[in-house]
Structure 1
Amino acid sequence: MSSTAESTPEEAAAPPGAGGARRGSLGVLLGLIRTARPRQWVKNVLVLAAPFAANRMFERDVLIDTALSFAAFCLVASAVYLVNDAIDVAADRAHPTKRTRPIAAGIVPIPLAYGASAVLFLAAVAVALLAGWPLVIVIVVYAAAQLGYCLGLKHQPVIDLCIVASGFLLRAIAGGVAAGIPLSQWFLLVTAFGSLFMVSGKRYAEIILFERTGARIRASLTKYSASYLRFVWATSAAIMITTYALWAFEIRQRVAHNSVWAVISIVPFVVAVLRYAVDVDGGNAGEPEDIALRDRVLQILGACWVGCLALSVYV
């Protein structure tokens, strides 16, 4: 028999203990890293939002506290991913693509996944403690909400959307509380409804893809209709744009030189939202970071928006 023969689907989905080569320590380590999903850490740049908007990005203490909040969220998010994949191992093994995940494929034993998750969570708390108890509280609240999602809340309509969206909101809050920066009510509302806009848009795109191609979707989506999710992301977009405009006028009044750039930033912000909505409406909205990385026009609009905000706050 040829040594280059491909593994059968049954072998690919085999439980822990199958396949001698996969039991190697290096394979297990790489499997843990894959399950921790470091690619998702890009979401944690949201911790920079509050310091940036408050014109305190370049203060030494603020930079240190923001870096600590970024590291803490990387650790706690990876801890949650490990628990999620360990809980969903049976469903993942029956899934055509998720069956290749390290835990489902038998590369990473389930007890090891839980142990690594506990270590990462404790490390996240320890790192957060360096910035102060407020950040520790945010980290614990994030972990509790996400674990609740993994343990069953993801099957509850609307609640699942809110929990996923809260993850983005808590990241933005973390950057502020870690550095002791007061958070504007408009900033919090923009972040909250912006998060809900992206989450509901992603779910809407998944349903549209299912209706067009029959592709398998997550079980929780069977409780939604495309029209309902379209209503949610359209409503979220409207509230997000309104609250952003109010926040922009607040920034203009707050800065000493009464810069008009904060108001001008409303234009690229709204156009960027409309551009993102094109992907949502077309059923092409995957992970937000994937859309941002492949859409050059959206990148330009984002750069113009950030540039306008920077001019309003720092010039």
Structure 2
Amino acid sequence: MRAGRARAVPARGRAAAGAPRARRGRPARAGRAAARPGPRRGARAVILALLQTLRPRQWTKNLLLFAGVLFSLQITQLPLLGRAAAGFAAFCLLSGLVYLLNDLLDVEADRQHAAKRHRPIASGRLPQGVAWGAMLPIAGGAAAIAWWLGPAFTVAAALYLGLNLAYSFGLKKQVLIDVFIIATGFVLRAIAGVELLLPVSPGTEISPWLLVCTFFGALFLGLAKRRRELENAGVHAGKSREVLRHYSPELLDGLLLVTAAASLMSYALYTIWPGTVEKFGTEALLWTVPFVAYGIFRYLFLVRAWSGSEDPSQVLLSDRPMAATVVLYVVAVVAILYGT
């Protein structure tokens, strides 16, 4: 019995002695080797998280900056097209700056939202200090581009930024005013798309009817976004977005019908307005009305049938019939305006 115990003790001793040596050996070296590239991977992850917070998918809204050069029949002039592209870049930076600020201000509410809690700031993948620090160079880049494009464009860009700052710091909680601010932001994009051309093409102008179409179309999209948000959030709507407490499905459905009709009618009137016919020398733009009508009806359908329709940009990029409609509309407009 004693011998058995004596043999058992060294066995336990060897096992105990061997374990630390194994931890100090290869596994430890492997851990140190794996740790060396960690900071580089961490920096890349933060940069990607910052880019995601700037919402590149939402930059499709800024394509409206090209409306001025398209409808002024100057899209074939490369210098003017280049200025429109610069304006597009400036508004992408500005809108990204606004998204960054909104995510910083709404971080606690986003953490209560089923989808928004995965955003980089809400999930912790993008440190809040890094997000605040990135705002200055982003604003500086937008300001530099705006200064190059001229004072009138700078004013339009500043109004856009000021309006969105007011939205972020309180107006987003005001029922109806929130969607009116969204619509006004689209109108300012359209105006900026004209103002950036004026320093080198003084005769450029945009039809007031087109601005009316832009306003009602953007108002329609904003109301559709609220309608889908309300349905997706259910009884927790007020926690995910405070203004949703004041909306009801019946109110939003009625407003959607009004804005859809106003968008379609204003565009149809624009295509046959005497000033439009005189400017383009044709009434053929009337043939693009079916594309606009289908796009509006399709979006109304998606608002009620698809939970992903909460984001207009995602609809444009994900719904094939909608994307095809937009492409066909642009092709038809270019063919009519530049082929006649």
TM > 0.5: yes
1:59-101 C-alpha deviation (Å, 9 max, x unpaired): 1221121011011011111111111111122223344443333
1:245 paired residue among 227, 251, 268: 268
1:101 aligned onto 2:119: yes
- Contact 1:79-1:118 within 8 A present in 2 as well: no
**CA distance in 2: counterparts of 1:273 and 1:165, whole angstroms:** 16
1:57 aligned onto 2:69: no
* Larger deviation, residues 267-276 vs 155-164: 267-276
**CA distance in 1: counterparts of 2:143 and 2:89, whole angstroms:** 10
1:195 shift after superposition: 0.3
2:214 paired residue among 172, 178, 191: 191
TM normalised by structure 1 equals 0.85
Classify the secondary structure of the residue corresponding to 1:58.
coil
1:186 shift after superposition: 0.3
1:210 shift after superposition: 4.0
CA shift in 2, pair 1:108/1:307, >3 Å: closer
Greater fraction helix? 2
CA shift in 2, pair 1:144/1:23, >3 Å: farther
- Contact 1:23-1:107 within 8 A present in 2 as well: no
1:83 paired residue among 89, 97, 101: 101
1:255 shift after superposition: 1.8
- Contact 2:71-2:206 within 8 A present in 1 as well: no
Structure 1 residues 1-315: aligned runs within 5 Å: 24-180=42-198, 181-211=204-234, 217-250=240-273, 251-256=276-281, 259-282=282-305, 284=307, 285-315=309-339
**CA distance in 2: counterparts of 1:297 and 1:104, whole angstroms:** 33
1:189 shift after superposition: 0.3
1:153-211 C-alpha deviation (Å, 9 max, x unpaired): 11100111111222222222221111123121001000011000011012112223345
**CA distance in 2: counterparts of 1:304 and 1:24, whole angstroms:** 43
1:7 alignment counterpart: none
Q: Which amino acid aligns with 2:335?
A: L
CA shift in 2, pair 1:103/1:296, >3 Å: closer
* Larger deviation, residues 104-113 vs 114-123: 104-113
What is the number of equivalent residue pairs in this alignment?
A: 293
**CA distance in 1: counterparts of 2:43 and 2:214, whole angstroms:** 41
- Contact 2:69-2:193 within 8 A present in 1 as well: yes
- Contact 1:204-1:283 within 8 A present in 2 as well: no
- Contact 2:271-2:283 within 8 A present in 1 as well: no
Unaligned segments of structure 1, at least 5 residues:
1-19
CA shift in 2, pair 1:219/1:23, >3 Å: farther
CA shift in 2, pair 1:30/1:264, >3 Å: closer
TM normalised by structure 2 equals 0.79
Identity %: 34
**CA distance in 1: counterparts of 2:301 and 2:271, whole angstroms:** 24
**CA distance in 1: counterparts of 2:266 and 2:116, whole angstroms:** 38
Classify the secondary structure of the residue corresponding to 2:196.
helix
**CA distance in 1: counterparts of 2:253 and 2:159, whole angstroms:** 29
Unaligned segments of structure 2, at least 5 residues:
1-37, 199-203
